[in-house]
């Protein structure tokens, strides 16, 4: 009977060695959690419970990375990564040496696996995300980090079996047929796509005559003016495009008389629903 119990313990130990990567075993020395306030450069504020161990406050590597718009993954059993076109952070389990954008950085402590989360020192993680720890009070169990950047580099939309993607590196619209994988690209030339200062939205509308109208708004949060990109499709083909910079207020694209209004920098084109024919050009 005792022999069977010993075998059972060995099996459990082997299973746990697979579930928890080598050098990253669950920390039993973790003393408690503290409140972490995260203030982002784009205006967001998050409040989470985070780990404190041996007097050092840690942050969840993957959770904060996802909030920062980064893609997370494991390059191998002992290497965790956060990345986008603008940021690349690598930590190695069992080592205090990390890499941020190709430069080696000493985190001061090794990463810690605890209850299915990978934790790294919050001072390192805040700095890697272009922020800093600005307040730490162990009496109130509160830590505040500020100025963390958002590195989102891809914006998505979908409509009627097609996906619409805008990447910050190019600023053009990529359209993909979800069934066939066929792709096309429409030049937009969207510039200064900084998600810490601007919002980008992709909206879809159908006209009474079944034209697809795609509106893209690139908005400056501080001034609230925006660049408006309008694309009109008929039978899945682009028939009209307009671009207007520095737009203020809201503008109706579909008029009550079923015409469509295309706003440009110096003019407004009124087009016919169904055909896309230009009916009138007004000064703006």
Token digits of residue 234: 């008929």
Tokens representing 118 are 């990978």
Pairing of strands 142-148, 32-40: parallel
Cα separation, 284 vs 277, whole angstroms:
20
* Conformation bin of residue 169: beta by default, left when phi > 0, alpha when psi is -120 to 50: alpha
The neighbour count for residue 177, using CB atoms within 10 Å, is: 13
Q: Lowest mean pLDDT: which of 28-32, 173-177, 223-227? A: 28-32
DSSP state of 3: H
Tally helices (H) and strands (E) across the chain. 3, 23
Contact 126, 134 (CB under 8 A): no
DSSP state of 12: H
**The two structure tokens encoding residue 133:** 């720890």
**Burial class of residue 124 in the structure, from the number of CB atoms within 10 Å of its CB (0-12 exposed, 13-18 middle, 19+ buried):** buried
Closest CA to 260 of 192, 213, 198: 213
At 202, list the tokens. Answer: 């992709």
Q: What pLDDT is attached to residue 140? A: 86
Higher pLDDT, 169 or 282: 282
pLDDT-derived band at 192, boundaries 50, 70, 90: confident
Asked whether residue 22 carries a pLDDT value surpassing 90, the answer given is: no
Average pLDDT score over residue span 135-140 = 87
* pLDDT at res. 31: 54
Mean pLDDT of the chain: 89
Max Cα distance, the chain (Å): 92
Summarize pLDDT for 152-188 with one digit per residue, the tens.
Answer: 999 999 999 999 999 998 999 999 999 999 999 999 9
- Could you tell me the pLDDT band of residue 232, with boundaries at 50, 70 and 90? very high
H or E stretch including 88?
strand 88-92
What's residue 93's pLDDT?
A: 96
CA–CA distance, 225 with 248 (Å, rounded to integer): 5
What pLDDT sits at residue 45?
Answer: 97
Whole-model pTM?
A: 0.78
Question: Residue 233 forms beta bridges with which residues?
Answer: 212, 238
The residues with which 40 forms a beta bridge, in sequence order, are: 148
**Confidence class for position 284, pLDDT limits 50, 70, 90:** confident
As beta bridge partners, residue 71 has 83
* Residue 39 burial class via C-beta count within 10 angstroms: exposed 0-12, middle 13-18, buried 19 and up: middle
Identify whether the C-beta of residue 64 lies closer than 8 Å to the C-beta of residue 125. Answer: yes
Asked if 193 contacts 187 with a C-beta cutoff of 8 angstroms, the reply is no
* Distance, CA of 187 to CA of 165 (rounded, Å): 12
> Cβ distance 88 to 101 under 8 Å?
yes
pLDDT at 247 over 50: yes
């Amino acid at each position: 009977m005792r022999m069977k119990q010993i075998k059972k313990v060995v099996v459990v130990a082997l299973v746990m060695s697979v579930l928890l990567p080598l050098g990253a075993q669950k920390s039993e020395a973790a003393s408690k959690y503290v409140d972490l306030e995260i203030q982002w450069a784009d205006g967001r504020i998050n409040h989470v419970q985070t780990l404190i161990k041996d007097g050092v406050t840690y942050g969840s590597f993957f959770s904060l990375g996802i909030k920062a718009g980064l893609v997370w993954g494991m390059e191998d059993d002992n290497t965790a990564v956060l990345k986008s076109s603008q940021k690349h952070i690598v930590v190695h389990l069992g080592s205090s040496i990390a890499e941020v954008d190709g430069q080696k950085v000493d985190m001061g402590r090794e990463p810690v696996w605890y209850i299915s989360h990978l934790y790294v020192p919050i001072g390192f993680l805040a700095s890697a995300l272009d922020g800093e720890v600005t307040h730490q009070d162990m009496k109130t169990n509160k830590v505040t980090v500020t100025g963390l950047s958002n590195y989102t580099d891809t914006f998505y939309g979908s409509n009627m079996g097609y996906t619409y993607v805008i990447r910050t590196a190019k600023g053009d619209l990529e359209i993909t047929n979800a069934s066939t994988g066929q792709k096309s690209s429409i030049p937009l030339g969207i510039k200064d796509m900084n998600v810490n200062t601007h919002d980008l939205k992709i909206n879809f509308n159908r006209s009474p005559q079944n034209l697809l109208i795609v509106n893209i708004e690139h908005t400056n949060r501080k001034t609230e003016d925006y660049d408006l990109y309008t694309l009109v499709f008929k039978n899945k083909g682009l028939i009209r495009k307009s671009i207007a910079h520095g737009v203020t207020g809201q503008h109706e694209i579909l008029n009550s008389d079923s015409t469509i209004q295309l706003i440009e920098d110096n003019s407004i084109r009124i087009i016919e629903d169904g055909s896309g024919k230009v009916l009138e050009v007004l000064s703006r």
